[in-house]
Amino acid sequence: MPTINFSNTEIAFQYKSTEDLKRAYQLFKLLSYPTLVNVGSVVAPLFVKLGGKFFIKKTIYRQFVGGETREECIHIIQTLAKYNVGSILDYSVEGEQNEDSFERCKKEIIENIEFSKDKPYIPFCVFKPTGLIRFALLEKVSAGATLSTNEQNEWNRAKNRVMEVCQKAYQSQQPIFIDAEESWIQKAIDELTDECMLTFNKNQCIVLNTFQLYRTDRLQFLKDSLKKAKENNYYLGAKLVRGAYMEKERERAAKMGYPSPIHPDKSSTDRDYDEALTFCVENIDRITVCAGTHNERSSQHLVDLIEKHGLKKDDKRIYFSQLLGMSDHISFNLAKEGYNVVKYVPYGPVESVLPYLIRRAQENTSVKGQTGRELTLITREVKRRSGR
Residue 277 — very low, low, confident or very high, per pLDDT cuts 50/70/90? very high
Among 56-65, 147-156, 186-195, 305-314, the minimum mean pLDDT is found in 56-65
Helix axes 34-47, 18-31, angle to 10 degrees: 100
Report d(CA 207, CA 198) in Å as an integer: 9
Predicted local distance difference test score (pLDDT) of residue 370: 76
Separation of alpha carbons 349 and 131, rounded Å: 14
Can you tell me the distance from the alpha carbon of 328 to that of 340, in angstroms, rounded to the nearest whole number? 14
> What is the average pLDDT across 220-235?
98
Asked whether the beta carbons of 341 and 335 are under 8 A apart, the reply is: yes
* Residue 318, beta-bridge partner list: 289
Sheet strand arrangement including 207-212: 86-91, 341-347, 318-323, 287-292, 236-241, 207-212, 176-178, 125-127
Cα 285 to Cα 36: distance, rounded to the nearest angstrom: 47
Per-residue pLDDT for 40 more than 80?
A: no
Q: Is the pLDDT of residue 369 over 70?
A: no
pLDDT tens string 104-133:
999 999 999 999 999 999 999 999 999 999
Which is it for the CA torsion 54, 55, 59, 64, positive or negative? negative
Angle between the N-to-C axes of helices 135-142 and 183-200, in degrees from 0 to 180, rounded to the nearest 10: 80
Residue 368 above 60 pLDDT? no
Q: Residue 274 in contact with residue 298, Cβ under 8 Å? A: yes
pTM as predicted = 0.94
pLDDT digits (tens, 9 = 90+) for 240-264: 999 988 889 999 999 999 999 999 9
Residue 173 has a pLDDT of: 97
The DSSP bridge partners found for residue 91 are 347
Q: How many residues appear in the chain? A: 388
**pLDDT, mean over the chain:** 93
CATH 3.40.350.10 correct for 203-311: no
> What is the number of other CB atoms lying within 10 angstroms of the CB of residue 4?
18
pLDDT digits 0-9 by tens, 149-174:
999 999 999 999 999 999 999 999 99
Where along the chain do its domains lie? Answer: 203-311
Banded model confidence at residue 36, pLDDT cuts 50, 70, 90: confident
Burial track 250-261 (b if 16+ CB lie within 10 A, e otherwise): eebbeeeeeebb
Calculate the dihedral angle through the C-alpha atoms of 316, 322, 327, 329, rounding to the nearest 10 degrees: 10
Distance CA 326, CA 331 (A): 9
